[in-house]
Amino acid sequence: MAGGSQHNPATLSGGGRRKAVIFVVLIGCVSLFADMTYEGGRSIAGPFLGTLGASAVVVSVVAGLGEFLGYGVRYFSGRAADRRGRYWPIMLTGYVVNLLSVPLLALAGAWPVAVMLLIAERVGRAIRSPIRSAMLSHAASRTGAGWGLGYSRSFAVLLLPALASLAVLAAAWLLYPDPRGLEVRTPRAELSAWSGFGRTFRVYTLAAALAGAGFVDFALAAFHLTRTGIMPPAGIPLLYALAMGTEGIAALVLGRLLDRVGGGVAPAGIGVAAMATPLLFLGGIPAAVIGAALWGVGTATQDTIFHALLAGHVPQDRRATAYGLFDALRGTAWLLGSVALGVLYTVGPVALVAMSLMLQLAAIPVLTSIRRGSTWSAGSL
């Protein structure tokens, strides 16, 4: 495995593997409660902005800007964590901002205020995300990379899972003060940021940028479904819950396939996820339900599978930086794509769907180009 361990996780000591599994479970619990908070808020963000007077273009641009900052800041937080070795304080700060911004939306009386809080939530997620990914990648060297990785009242209720997430995170910090010790040691490599991470890193980043640029944010999809009367407002959280449930299942399934058959699951996941856009924007309720499920496959592919693939190409002492750089570039593409898709939505849903499909499907040949220099096997990644 380039830049990673040469050991088979199955042959590692039971004690080390057991500790790694416990750590993954703890961080998984943190993510569970965190997802209940910010994903619960994200599910109704588009219609919520609409009730405050925001247009479709505003909703799309805000979603794109949030993702841009939500990914762009990751490079700086990841780099700071690698340089200072202070993973936990930085990650805790990110979780506090990420989680507490959501219940504060209950107090937003105008869409500019809501926009500020939604962006703050994305920035908080950005601060903690590359560090969380790097921590999990250390443990995943022992478990397998794929396996490891009213509106106002609705926002106010989300304070409870936010506090639960922070409590579990504090417990994980006390039990595992230095998660880097979980990883099977690999040689230290001195690499520059972009060119030094290698061709495969650059190809994955380009593919993720194309997929992200064409991936319609759920906020715009929810705005469309409620604005056209296809889905009642009360049905949007259920639709998003379906998407998140599918994401969780897809992350496990695709992760297992990644460990067994290699990175070929990434283009397959992108191809399946690309079909979400026409279903969400051109069909009725049954199509929207299927589209939401496929949208969840897309988020699993982009967040879980790409990060698992990158873990095998970046040395552990630079991993938070690499994840941060990867997400920063992907976030830039996401912002540009969201602006374009928001404008195209004013032209018509068909124009939006055409652009979305073109960008996402363009990522597939980029990914398959890796085969020229790689077997795509899990061990080689």
How far are the Cα atoms of 78, 140, 194, 323 from residue 83, in angstroms, in the given order?
A: 9, 22, 17, 14
Beta-strand runs (E) in 62-214: none
Cα of 40 vs its chain's centroid, Å: 15
pLDDT at 46 over 70: yes
Report which of residues 118 and 14 the model is more confident about: 118
Contacts of 339 (CB under 8 A, 6+ apart): 60, 61, 64
Say which residue, 257 or 165, is predicted with more confidence: 257
pLDDT in tens, 124-183: 888 887 777 777 776 665 555 554 444 644 454 456 666 776 777 777 778 777 766 666
Looking at residue 215, what is its pLDDT?
94
Contacts of 45 (CB under 8 A, 6+ apart): 63, 114, 118, 219, 222
Distance CA 182, CA 172 (A): 13
Q: Can you give the pLDDT at residue 5?
A: 37
Distance between CA atoms of residues 378 and 246, nearest Å: 24
- Count CA atoms within 13 Å of residue 336 on its CB side: 12
Q: Where are the beta strands (DSSP E) in the chain?
A: none
pLDDT value for 50:
87
Rounded CA-CA distance 213/218 in Å is 13
Instruction: Enumerate the domain spans of the chain.
Output: 10-183+193-372
**Range in 155-159, 218-222, 229-233 with the lowest mean pLDDT:** 155-159
> What is the residue whose two structure tokens read 């995300």?
129
CATH architecture of 10-183+193-372: Up-down Bundle (1.20)
Each residue of 53-76: pLDDT tens digit? 998 889 999 988 888 887 778 888
